[in-house]
Each structure stands twice: as structure tokens, then as C-alpha cells.
A and B are shown apart, each in its own frame.
Chain A
């Protein structure tokens, strides 16, 4: 087989630009120590002629626990052992170490890259084979999340970020990487929420808002922005483009805790909408280790409700029939511990199932273009008619 020369490795191309360990910021020093610790572990086990392995905290439903008092999802102590000398795990083990070495290089050079960037950085043909280290980005994404929990560091501490998604508008001024951002003057598109919203990057300078309205998607968000809802109601308007990415959740968390702003969510009346709310409120199963930095247990679900079809007098044509996976997912969600003991939510899910259809927020537009901003949301806010 013709031996393909490997893609150029980052280390060889930019060795000169390495920042000496002593000069690294303290946060990076800590991350670096965990990375080196991981590598030393491999050497030590190999020296003792033992098969190397990694213990990676398990990121599955079986290893999360709903903390009743803190009302967030927390990660349990369960771990999955990932062994080099196990057929099904060998490749994942190799990938984990590749990700670690990639992040180490990023830190050393004081640079950050996107998840996709790291994927390309590490992707190459394994010497002497036709096999790629990573076939798809989804592979490296999972491994990165594994590395976060295994090293007990956050993604941003690995100098990685996800692609930005979600916008913010409202009477608030932020400082992002030293630049002052007035979110009331961001035009029709709003300010794109960066994927890393840690205090070192984003600071809050001035705020006049009284609460936060988080909507599911861009179209609804634009409706509110165009109608200047955030002016009339003195609020911050955000959306997360569906399932909100970590940046959006982190920003909401900080706005809620640091500025004491209540969070109301306007989401579709379907299992996926319910789960978005659940993720904002309790944290996600997959990123349970991040819950303490992201979950907002006080967040409220404003709509849409199953009863809105009748309450708002919507036409039959806006109904979307529930399919099999909807029903299955709804039943699954109803059984999550954090929904299980809430009669109101059980009633809500049951109502949707007995309706046999789901409703999108956009369906309110069938009443009137600005029905949602002028009547629906104000009425809910006035009646304090929320699901908790």
C-alpha cells in the first residue's frame, strides 16, 4: 500500500510559537496539568505492562440524578471504562488521546478553535491503513464531550467553542472581549450570542430589563424584535435556534443569577419544546456536569399550551398531527424524574397526547401577525399563567 504522508500536524508547523508553561494563564495551567496527567497515566500503565484505560464519567440517563433540593440534573458517579485493548473501544481510546493532544497544542499556542476546526486539525489517515482517525465531526464532538468530563474541565478551558447560535436584543449593555455592545442598538438581527460567555469574555455593564423572554426560534424572535416588544415590556429577548447551545444557556444563567432577572420561555407545544424548557430549567442529560453553571431552576414555561388551541380559537389547519416518535418521546419525557412529580406537567403532556396534535408558536400568526406579541404573551404575563 502506498503510504500516504500524514496531514501536517499542528505541532510541527508552529513549534516556535509555543508559550512556555510558566507564562500560561492560571486557568490554562490547570487544564494543562490535567492533560499531562492523562498522558502520564498512559506511560505509567505501559511501563508496568498493564493495558491502559480511561475512566470516563458516563453521560447517559442511567448516570444522571435529579437533585431535588437544587432542582437540577447532576451527574452520578458512574463511569465507563474505555480500554485500548478492547475491540469496540480501541478507536475511541485513540481518539480521546488525539483530542487531548490537539487541545494541548491549542492551549500552548494561546489559540481557540471551533469543534469543526479541531475535527480538521486531528483528522488524518492512520499510517499504513486507509482508515481515518475521524470519519465525521460527530465522532470528534462526542469525544470532546468525553474529554471534558474525563479531565473535569470545561470546553472553553480546552480552547474550544461551538459555532455561535442564538441572538439577544434588549436594554442591556455587554462587554465582549473588551468591546462594548449595546443590545438595544443591534438592528433586526440582534447580537449573536458568543459560544463562550464566561465572565472573562463577557461582562454586563448596564441593564434596564426586568425579565428575559426566551423564544425557541429565529422567526418568532424576529416578530418580537420587529414589534419592539422588549421596549414596551422592558425585557431581554433571546432565542437559541431550537435546542439552545451552551453559550446561550450560560448567558441566560448568568443574566438570571447575576442580574436577578426571571426567565420565561415561549416554546412550541410539542415534546421537543418541552425538552428545550427542561434543558434550560434543569440542565441536559448529556451535559449533566454543566448543569450547575447553566441550569435555571426558576425558569417558567409560558407557552404554547395544549389548551391554547381552544383558548385562542385557532383553526384546524394549524394542527400538526403527532407522529409515532412524538408520542414516544412525550411518554419518555413524562417519565423523567423532574417531570414525573409535577401534576401540572403530567396534565399538560396528557392533554397534548389526547389532542393528538402539536402546535408551533408560529401558528398564532394565523390569528394575526402580531397576535403573539400584542395579546398572547402580554396576557400570560399579566395572569402569571405559567407552567413551572
Chain B
């Protein structure tokens, strides 16, 4: 069947080419092979590809083969391809390649939809993600939001029809794009377990909620409703409804988690989708846990309650109540439009004149600009759009490139913002220093985009947070052949060196198999993992985002990773081996916001390198690098001075004692004198700390804008020196160092 689908595609192209060759416009025919935006088929996002393929098969398959007998014969078979068959054979295109990824994709599509819905409705999102193991390799995924809810008649369409949505045909910054994801997830669930998608949606506290069990009629691509005689069920509001849901096993979170001393509020509106599917749950890289963790960083206005299949509850609480600004929809910029797209647009436009077409279809094209384009193209401004041929289109395309057109407006992009990047990172990643930089918007090929970078320094590595129980689960799940491989694959920011260090510390053989460890050995490994100081060997953790959605795969192919590795981090106080990621306890988040994010491949996991994007990435990384460098230099200076003083203080008492024993001078008096000298000698420690305190109070930061410093307690600062010498001296020292020691309280609870 797969072969058939493929051959059908090829046949269309072949016949198309032949047809157009016959018709004398081969150039145009080539454009048929491309998508609307001129990208090659295999470069395009799978959903777009599917959608276009479906559209083509509807509109053109009937025309194919009119001129050739062989084609006619083939055409009869082409009609039989259904969405479900295509999907079943091409599930990898939509992110369902393997059971593990299927789980991630399902959660991801549901959460992305929820976030988009909440934000569009102006509701600060709160999301519940419940994953439950219900049988062998079977999981029930429930995702609920507090969004606006969906009106009754739309529910079946949204969840039971592929390619139904609001986001595809607009050029606007949003998470999802095609409206295919959640219904595809439902279809995957149906294919793998036979269970329908369950949807509960409520639009207001006083209105009834709707409950549907839906599946897609895969032949016709229409929803099929199972419950309530094909009409769904209405659940009355209030306690009565709750009782009804309880009785019928309908899952719904009715209340927000109770705050201290308050009654928990009822969730007025929202949608919950529950899908049962065949999947595999695994922690580590590319997992659901990681996706939610990263989502929480880039969406500081979101609260996520996550219950994993093992019953651990993780809450990512929002760091900000402020919703991001609603992104504006824009028309395409002429520079970003390729010839093929231009031809399509010309064909589809409702405008009759060329000038009208140019001004109405593109942004930044005024009447004057349109006139200039037409002049350069040697076309009349009043030429009919219907009569623009291939050659004229070509001239028009060239004329557009030659005409000076101002850059597209950039208010269509909504960055997270430096302050919120810091907050988001601080909320989720433990650390002592946070810095961020948001670049001004820039344009690549007519598409506005914006780069922002956030950096957290000093956080503990992922493996320090692992408990022995989780570790043994991870070990059991892992298919790595050696322990080293296991460590490197499972934990982010853990390189080969660090893994070797841990294995050596635990006293294991180099090629120890991870699955054969005894209980005591696991404890030993856990001990080694928490004991080994990995600050030096830990490599930077890079979190990549496109329009606030984490990119979890293909890091090496991504322009972001490449830009981070290519930059020289040494001047900023990090060590880095040639061509690699820098090492150190650093978490970096890089966000690209754009109306159109250029992905390198159909899997939408890596951003393509355009010179403009590379440049913006470099500048943003340098900006946070400078802030980090300044912080690290200051920190090491303060620490050195502090250490110096503590060493002096330690000996002052002995010196004073010895001198007073020799010449009878008052010990106390001499000690005080020496202490004064010591303080003057190490005055740097005081000034810097005072400076820092003052700066912080005034809010004017020397590190540049938007830097967050988590005060370390003096003990941490002087970690290497066990004590600070004589009591009197150390008291004063502590006073000098003692800024309010707000420990970086991890607000994640497990």
C-alpha cells in the first residue's frame, strides 16, 4: 500500500511534467513539484505535505491521465487511498515513529493546543497532564486545560477530523500550525488500541459540560460519535455534574489545587482530552518529562501539573501572571515569496489589477512601491492578474527582488522577554546566576524573526536530582549496552569524561552492563553520581525553542547548537574544547520566535541556518556571555578575597598570642590592630560586596540589563575554607558577606 501511495505521488508529478512540457511551460510545471512556498517536497513539514497531497489528490487526480492511457489505468487506483491508510503507513511523518515518541507527540500536541487556546482566549493557562499505565505498553494520556472550552458542535470536528483548525492559512506566530496533530494522535490511539478519544469541554461554570467519545471515520475523514446516540452527552453544571462524571468514569479535574488556607476555586471552563494509546514511557532525553520541563521554562506564564505513569507528581508553577501579547497576523513580505508561490497567489487573488494584487496581498507594498515594481518589471499597473503569464511572473519576481521595499513590520512577533526568560529559568532550573538577552527583531528572506537567549549558571546537573529508585527504573528501562553509554544517553549535560569519572568513582569495570547491576551496586552508582564533582566535566545544556515549543531532537543539525558550539566561550569564563559545547554548570535556552520558523527537515526538530539567523544567534549569545563573564570574574574575585581574609584571620589569633607571650603586649589589643590591617589589605572583598549590594538595591546592574543573581550563603562562597578563624573576626567577615541569603528554593516538588 505504501508503495502505491508513493507511486501515485510520482505519477502525478510525472504526468504533470509531461503535460506542462507539452503545454510549453516547463518552468511552471516544476513549480507544481514544490509546495506553495517553494520549498522542496521532502524539506517540508509532514503535515503540510500531507495536507497538500490530500488537496492535490482531490482536485487534480481526476485531470491526471486524461491524455495517456497508462495514466488512466493508474488513476483508477489512486482514488482508493484513504487518510487512515496513508497515516497508518506514514505515521513517522507525524511523529509517531515508535511507541516512545508516540507518547511524547500525543502529549505535545494536546499541550500545544491547550496553550494556544488559552492564550487566544486571554486566560492564564493551567494544564494538567496525567499519564497512566493501563496495560502492557498501554497508556492513558489525559490533558486538561482551563481554556475557553469548545462549543458543542465544534468538538467532534476538532478532535475527529484531520486538517480542521484555525491556524493553517495565516502567517502568524503560533505553536501548532496545521490542525492535524491532536486528531492524528486520536487516530493513532484508535489504530493501536481501538479506543476512541474522550473529550470533555466546558465553556462556563454555569453551563453544562459536553462529553464526547469520538473516533475518526478514516475513509471519509469525518468524526464518528460513540456516546449519547451519536449526539454526545451533556453534563449539568455543579455538584450534580460531578456526581454524574464520577458515576460514569469521566475524568475531569474540577478544582484548582487549593492554596494555603483558601478554598480551592472551581475550574470554570476548559477542555480535557483523553487518549488511550500503545506507547512506551521512558525518562531522559526526548521524554515527556523533558518536554514539560522545557515548556515550563519558555512559558513562564503557564502552570503545569504533571502526574507521570509511576505516580510522581511534578508541579511547574508559573513565574508570571502576565500573558504574552497576542501576536498579530501579517501578510507575506514580497522578499520572502518565491516564484512558484507568486504564481499561485496571482492565480488565487480576487484583485483584478496587478497593483491591487501587490498592495493587498503583501505587507509593506504601498501604491508607490507597487508602481515601482511594475515599472521595473515593465508591466502595467493595471494589467489583469489573470493574464500574467509565466514570463511576466518571472519578470515580476525579479522586479520585486530589485525594488527596495522596507522590512516587514516586526510587531507580529512576541518574544518571551528578558525578564520573563530569567523568571522562567529561575523557576525551573536551579542556579545562582541568570542572564538573558532578547535581540531586536530581524528579517530573513522577508520573514521577521527574533532571537532570545537565557542562561542559568550554577545549577546542579540532572543526575544530582535522581533518587536511587528512579535510577534503578532508568537502568531497567535502558537498552544501552554499557554503563557509560547509559549515563551519557540518559542525562543531559553529561559527557564521556564525566561518565568515566562516575564509573571510576563507583569502582565498576569500564564495560559494565547497566541491566545486570545488583541493588547494592545501584546504590553505589547513585552515591558516585551524587558525589562526583561534575562542575568541570559537565557540558552546557542547550534547550532549543521555536515559538515557545521545545525542540528535543536532532540537536547537531540545528543552527542553534551550531552557533553555541562555534562561539568561543573561553573569554566568558567557561572552558570549551575545540568545536564543542562549552563545559560548566550552565543551562542555555535559545528561543527563535518567527511567523515562519525554517526547519531543516520534515520532523520539525532543527532550525535551518540562514546567515541572518546565525548572526542574530551569535549576537544574542555574546550578550549573555558578556554578562556571565562579568559575573564569573566578580565571583571568583570576591571568593578569592574572602578566602584570603579567612586565612589571615585564622592566623591572627596565633600571632597575637605568640607576640604577647614574648613581650607581654596585650593580646586582644594587638589582635584588633592586626584585624584592622587585615581588613584594609583585603578591602577588595568588602568593596565588591558592598558595590554589589548597592547595585542590587538601586536596581542599576553593572552586568547589563535583566540579570538575576541568587545570593549564595557565605558558607557556599567560602566553601573551600572550613572556617573563618577567630570568633570576633569571623563575625565581622560574615557581616560583610551576609546579604539576605535567600537560598535558591527549588519550587519543583517531587
Taking beta carbons and an 8 Å cutoff, which residues of A are in contact with B?
Answer: 1, 9, 11, 35-36, 38-40, 42-43, 46-47, 49-52, 84-85, 87, 90-91, 93-94, 97-98, 100-101, 104-105, 126-131, 133
Q: How far is the CA of A257 from the CA of B726 in the complex (A)?
A: 53
Q: How far is the CA of A11 from the CA of B723 in the complex (A)?
A: 27
Contact A104 B662 (CB under 8 A): yes
Q: Which residues of A contact B723 (CB under 8 A)?
A: 1, 128-130
User: Pick the contact of B648 from A84, A97, A130 — CB < 8 Å?
Assistant: A84
Residues from 660 to 686 in B contacting A, C-beta threshold 8 Å: 661-663, 665, 670, 673-674, 676-678, 680-682
Residues from 638 to 675 in B contacting A, C-beta threshold 8 Å: 644, 647-648, 650-655, 657-659, 661-663, 665, 670, 673-674
User: Pick the contact of A105 from B647, B661, B722, B730 — CB < 8 Å?
Assistant: B661
Q: Which residues of A contact B56 (CB under 8 A)?
A: none
Contact A93 B662 (CB under 8 A): no
Q: How far is the CA of A43 from the CA of B730 in the complex (A)?
A: 22
Q: Which residues of B contact A87 (CB under 8 A)?
A: 644, 647
Task: Confirm or deny: B727 has a beta carbon within 8 angstroms of a beta carbon on chain A.
Answer: yes
Counted as pairs of residues, one from A and one from B, with CB atoms less than 8 Å apart, the total is: 100
Contact A11 B661 (CB under 8 A): yes
Q: How far is the CA of A137 from the CA of B430 in the complex (A)?
A: 47
Task: Confirm or deny: B725 has a beta carbon within 8 angstroms of a beta carbon on chain A.
Answer: yes
Since A39-B659, A133-B654 are in contact, a sample of 10 more A-B pairs with Cβ atoms closer than 8 Å, ordered by chain A residue number, is A36-B663, A84-B674, A85-B677, A87-B644, A93-B651, A94-B658, A101-B662, A128-B725, A128-B727, A129-B725
Closest to B652 in A: A84
Contact B651 A51 (CB under 8 A): no
CB-CB under 8 A for A97 and B681, given A39-B665, A130-B722:
no
Contact B662 A52 (CB under 8 A): no
Contact B681 A51 (CB under 8 A): yes
Contact B658 A85 (CB under 8 A): no
Contact B654 A97 (CB under 8 A): yes
Contact A38 B725 (CB under 8 A): no
Contact A85 B681 (CB under 8 A): yes
Q: How far is the CA of A35 from the CA of B653 in the complex (A)?
A: 19
Q: Which residues of B contact A94 (CB under 8 A)?
A: 651, 654-655, 658
Q: Which residues of A contact B722 (CB under 8 A)?
A: 1, 129-130
Measured between C-beta atoms, what is the minimum distance from A178 to chain B in Å? 32
Closest to A10 in B: B661
The interface size bin for chain B is 20 to 34
**Can you sample 21 A-B contacts with CB below 8 Å?**
A9-B661, A36-B662, A39-B659, A40-B663, A42-B659, A46-B674, A49-B673, A51-B681, A52-B674, A84-B648, A85-B648, A90-B651, A94-B655, A97-B658, A97-B659, A97-B662, A101-B659, A101-B662, A105-B661, A131-B650, A133-B654
Contact A42 B670 (CB under 8 A): yes
Contact B726 A39 (CB under 8 A): no
Residues from 701 to 740 in B contacting A, C-beta threshold 8 Å: 722-727, 730
Contact B648 A126 (CB under 8 A): no
Measured between C-beta atoms, what is the minimum distance from B657 to chain A in Å? 8
Q: How far is the CA of A42 from the CA of B681 in the complex (A)?
A: 16
Q: Which residues of A contact B730 (CB under 8 A)?
A: 128
Contact B680 A49 (CB under 8 A): yes
Interface of A is mostly: helix
Q: Which residues of B contact A85 (CB under 8 A)?
A: 648, 677-678, 681-682
Measured between C-beta atoms, what is the minimum distance from B689 to chain A in Å? 19
Contact B653 A127 (CB under 8 A): yes
Q: How far is the CA of A43 from the CA of B681 in the complex (A)?
A: 17
Instruction: List the 10 closest A-B pairs by CB distance, nearest first.
Output: A39-B662, A97-B658, A46-B673, A94-B651, A39-B663, A101-B658, A101-B661, A85-B681, A39-B659, A94-B654
Closest to B682 in A: A85
Q: Which residues of B contact A42 (CB under 8 A)?
A: 655, 659, 670
Measured between C-beta atoms, what is the minimum distance from A42 to chain B in Å? 5
Q: How far is the CA of A242 from the CA of B509 in the complex (A)?
A: 48
Closest to A35 in B: B662
Q: Which residues of A contact B676 (CB under 8 A)?
A: 49
Q: Which residues of A contact B657 (CB under 8 A)?
A: 101
Q: Which residues of B contact A131 (CB under 8 A)?
A: 650
Q: Which residues of B contact A52 (CB under 8 A)?
A: 655, 674, 677
Contact A91 B651 (CB under 8 A): yes
Contact A126 B651 (CB under 8 A): yes
User: Pick the contact of A84 from B655, B680, B725 — CB < 8 Å?
Assistant: B655
Q: How far is the CA of A84 from the CA of B645 in the complex (A)?
A: 11
Q: How far is the CA of A93 from the CA of B260 in the complex (A)?
A: 59
Q: Which residues of B contact A40 (CB under 8 A)?
A: 663
Q: How far is the CA of A42 from the CA of B723 in the complex (A)?
A: 25
Measured between C-beta atoms, what is the minimum distance from A286 to chain B in Å? 25
Q: How far is the CA of A127 from the CA of B730 in the complex (A)?
A: 12
Q: How far is the CA of A104 from the CA of B657 in the complex (A)?
A: 13
User: Pick the contact of A90 from B647, B662, B677, B726 — CB < 8 Å?
Assistant: B647
Contact B665 A43 (CB under 8 A): yes
Which of B661, B673, B678 counts the most A-chain CB atoms under 10 A from its CB?
B661
CB-CB under 8 A for A100 and B658, given A90-B647, A126-B651:
yes
Q: Which residues of A contact B650 (CB under 8 A)?
A: 126, 128-129, 131
Q: Which residues of A contact B653 (CB under 8 A)?
A: 126-128
Which of B665, B677, B680, B722 counts the most A-chain CB atoms under 10 A from its CB?
B677
Q: How far is the CA of A46 from the CA of B659 in the complex (A)?
A: 12
Which of B647, B655, B676 counts the most A-chain CB atoms under 10 A from its CB?
B655
Measured between C-beta atoms, what is the minimum distance from B136 to chain A in Å? 56
Q: Which residues of A contact B670 (CB under 8 A)?
A: 42-43, 46
User: Pick the contact of B677 from A46, A101, A104, A127 — CB < 8 Å?
Assistant: A46
Q: Which residues of A contact B727 (CB under 8 A)?
A: 128
Q: How far is the CA of A104 from the CA of B647 in the complex (A)?
A: 26
Contact B662 A126 (CB under 8 A): no
Q: How far is the CA of A46 from the CA of B658 in the complex (A)?
A: 14
Closest to A88 in B: B647
Residues from 468 to 506 in B contacting A, C-beta threshold 8 Å: none
Measured between C-beta atoms, what is the minimum distance from B660 to chain A in Å? 8
Contact A126 B654 (CB under 8 A): yes
Q: How far is the CA of A358 from the CA of B723 in the complex (A)?
A: 52
Q: How far is the CA of A9 from the CA of B662 in the complex (A)?
A: 13
Q: Which residues of B contact A43 (CB under 8 A)?
A: 659, 663, 665, 670
Which of B651, B676, B678, B725 counts the most A-chain CB atoms under 10 A from its CB?
B651
Q: Which residues of A contact B644 (CB under 8 A)?
A: 87
Measured between C-beta atoms, what is the minimum distance from A1 to chain B in Å? 6
Residues from 520 to 564 in B contacting A, C-beta threshold 8 Å: none
Closest to B676 in A: A49
Q: Which residues of B contact A129 (CB under 8 A)?
A: 650, 722-723, 725
User: Pick the contact of A49 from B648, B652, B665, B677 — CB < 8 Å?
Assistant: B677
Contact B651 A84 (CB under 8 A): yes
Q: Which residues of A contact B661 (CB under 8 A)?
A: 9, 11, 101, 104-105
Q: How far is the CA of A39 from the CA of B373 in the complex (A)?
A: 93
Q: Which residues of B contact A36 (CB under 8 A)?
A: 662-663
Measured between C-beta atoms, what is the minimum distance from B436 to chain A in Å? 37
Q: How far is the CA of A176 from the CA of B74 in the complex (A)?
A: 125
Closest to B673 in A: A46
Q: Which residues of A contact B726 (CB under 8 A)?
A: 127-128
User: Pick the contact of A47 from B647, B658, B673, B678 — CB < 8 Å?
Assistant: B673
Closest to B651 in A: A94
Q: Which residues of B contact A128 (CB under 8 A)?
A: 650, 653, 723-727, 730
Measured between C-beta atoms, what is the minimum distance from B483 to chain A in Å? 36
Q: How far is the CA of A85 from the CA of B647 in the complex (A)?
A: 9
Closest to B681 in A: A85
Contact B654 A38 (CB under 8 A): no
User: Pick the contact of B658 from A90, A98, A130 — CB < 8 Å?
Assistant: A98
Q: How far is the CA of A150 from the CA of B655 in the complex (A)?
A: 17
Q: Which residues of A contact B725 (CB under 8 A)?
A: 126, 128-129
Measured between C-beta atoms, what is the minimum distance from A135 to chain B in Å? 14
Q: How far is the CA of A98 from the CA of B655 in the complex (A)?
A: 7
Q: How far is the CA of A24 from the CA of B650 in the complex (A)?
A: 35
Closest to B653 in A: A127
Q: How far is the CA of A129 from the CA of B723 in the complex (A)?
A: 6
Which of A38, A127, A133 counts the most B-chain CB atoms under 10 A from its CB?
A127
